[in-house]
């Protein structure tokens, strides 16, 4: 494990250097604040940010991704055949993601890269991606990552972790991928003090997180008990069933496959989908098992906090980034709902 230390004044230079061999995605300051997106050549990931509304999900599971293209034009070569779409194999790096967002990528992996089946689109994006994390010294008030098995300094899912130490960034290369990236960027080697400083910053940052969720009792309840709990209609009353929470969520992985055709040419693509929408669950018969708005809201929380928990036995499908809490137009708060579920006592 290599220690890293880089002066802030050298950051732009290092990123310019690394862009010779990597395509980068990272936080960029725009008019309304920071957004996380693919960077153009010469753009520097701005690590001096507090939050990005969209997460690193876009990099491994883009909102819209073309899977195949085809043509019915018999004058064209390979007509009537689904053609795989070429993919740029240049290594990529997501620079400046929050450590708990990296944990979210790990959660996505559980769905897209199982032992039996590997989703080729996710896999190829994931495999050549280096995750360069930027620890969060001042977690936002809605952040509850520490109770979701991760945290603002969680190293477990990153290739490199960086942290703000005044006039320089310090950190560690945690994996081989990370070391390669560090070499390509020419990060200077940090001294022995780095480790201690990181630990100190970590303790401070984690100490600032006041909001918590607990799900210890949810584990022990049956699905049906929770499903039929009486609080759902009230908890979901305000929900307008928009897709804000699902799109902002770094762990929501649902997608929808669509064909788009123009003339004789077409593409098959997949787009993010949201369980909040009625068309998500309606059957071709017209029957909709989740016809009522509150049933769809219940499904989202049940999936995140119960079904996932039972299926994977590895915590909840939430990293506590707080995006859904701060972006929800009607203030539906997953922390409160989780508490409600955990506190629920099914009548025997």
Partner 1 sequence: MDAYTDKIKEISKKILSEGKVDVVIGFRKGTLGYMSEPYMAKSEKEAENLVFDCNCRMNLVNYVTNRKDKVGIVVKGCDSRNLVTHIIENKIKREQLYIIGVPCTGLADKKALLDLAEGEITSVEDDNETITIKGDGFEKKVAKSDVLQSNCKTCIKRNPVIFDELAGPEVAELEISDRFADVDEVEKMSADERWNFFGELLSECTRCYACRNACPLCYCPTCFVDESRPQWVGKSDNETDVLTYHFLRAFHDAGRCTDCGACEAACPMDIKMRYFTRKTIKDCVEKYGSEAGMELDKRPALDQYKINDPNEFIK
Partner 2 sequence: MSEFEPKIITFLCNWCSYGAADLAGVSRFQYPPSMRVIRVPCSGRVSPKMILSAFRKGADGVWVSGCHPGDCHYISGNYYARRKFDVLNEMLEYVGIEKGRLHFSWISSAEGVKFAAVAKDVIETVTKLGPAKKFIKKLPEVA
Min dist. Cβ of residue 37 to partner 2 (A):
17
141 contributes a contact to partner 1 by CB under 8 A = yes
- Give 103 or 335: the residue with its C-beta nearer to partner 1: 335
Kindly write out the interface string for residues 31-70 of this chain, putting x where it contacts partner 1 by CB under 8 A and - elsewhere.
Answer: -x--x-----------------xx--------xx------
Pairing relation of β-strands 129-134 and 2-7?
Answer: unpaired
Instruction: Give the count of beta carbons closer than 10 Å to the beta carbon of residue 239.
Output: 19
Do the bridges between strand 2-7 and strand 23-30 make them parallel or antiparallel, or are there none, so unpaired? unpaired
- Of these partners, partner 1, partner 2, none, which one is at the site of residue 86 (CB under 5 to 8 Å by kind)? partner 2
Tokens linked to 326: 């701060």
Q: Which two tokens stand for residue 155?
A: 């190293």
CB distance 86 to 138 below 8 Å = no
Which region among 71-79, 89-97, 192-200, 243-251 touches partner 1 (by CB under 8 A)?
243-251
Q: Which does 1 bind (CB under 5 to 8 A by kind): partner 1, partner 2, none?
A: none
Token pair in block for residue 242: 């928009």
Beta strand residue intervals within the chain, DSSP E: 2-7, 23-30, 33-38, 64-71, 83-84, 92-97, 129-134, 160-164, 168-173, 188-189, 255-262, 265-272
Instruction: Report the nearest approach of partner 2 to the CB of residue 72 (Å).
Output: 13
- Least gap, CB of 41 to partner 2 (angstroms): 16
The correct pick among 244, 251, 297, 299 for binding partner 1 (CB under 8 A) is 244
Shortest reach from residue 43's CB to partner 2, in Å: 19
Closer of 248 and 302 to partner 1 (Cβ): 248
From CA 59, how far away is CA 68, in angstroms rounded?
Answer: 19
């Amino acid at each position: 494990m290599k220690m890293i230390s880089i002066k802030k004044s050298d950051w732009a230079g290092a990123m310019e250097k690394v862009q010779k061999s990597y395509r980068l995605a990272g936080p960029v300051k725009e008019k309304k604040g920071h957004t996380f997106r693919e960077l153009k050549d010469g753009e520097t990931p701005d690590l001096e940010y507090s939050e990005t509304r969209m997460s690193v999900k876009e990099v491994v599971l883009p909102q819209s991704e073309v899977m195949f293209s085809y043509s019915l034009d018999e004058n064209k070569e390979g007509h009537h055949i689904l053609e795989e779409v070429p993919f740029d194999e240049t290594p990529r790096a997501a620079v400046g993601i929050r450590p708990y967002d990296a944990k979210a990528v790990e959660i996505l992996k559980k769905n897209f890269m199982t032992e039996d089946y590997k989703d080729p689109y996710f896999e190829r994006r994931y495999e050549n991606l280096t995750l360069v994390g930027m620890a969060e010294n001042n977690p936002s008030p809605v952040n509850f990552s520490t109770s979701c098995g991760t945290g603002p300094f969680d190293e477990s899912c990153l290739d490199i972790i960086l942290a703000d130490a005044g006039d320089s960034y310090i950190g560690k290369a945690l994996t081989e991928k990370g070391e390669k990236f560090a070499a390509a960027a020419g990060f200077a080697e940090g001294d022995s003090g780095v480790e201690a400083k990181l630990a100190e910053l970590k303790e401070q940052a984690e100490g600032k997180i006041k909001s918590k969720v607990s799900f210890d009792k949810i584990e022990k309840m049956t699905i049906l008990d929770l499903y039929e709990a009486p609080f759902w209609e009230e908890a979901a009353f305000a929900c307008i069933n928009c897709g804000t929470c699902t799109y902002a969520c770094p762990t929501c992985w649902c997608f929808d496959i669509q064909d788009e055709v123009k003339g004789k040419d077409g593409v098959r693509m997949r787009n993010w989908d949201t369980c909040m929408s009625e068309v998500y669950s309606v059957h071709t018969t017209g029957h909709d098992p989740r016809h009522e708005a509150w049933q769809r809201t219940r499904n989202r929380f049940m999936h995140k906090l119960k079904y996932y928990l039972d299926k994977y036995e590895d915590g909840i499908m939430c990293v506590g980034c707080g995006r859904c809490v701060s972006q929800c137009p009607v203030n539906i708060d997953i922390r409160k709902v989780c508490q409600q579920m955990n506190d629920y006592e099914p009548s025997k």
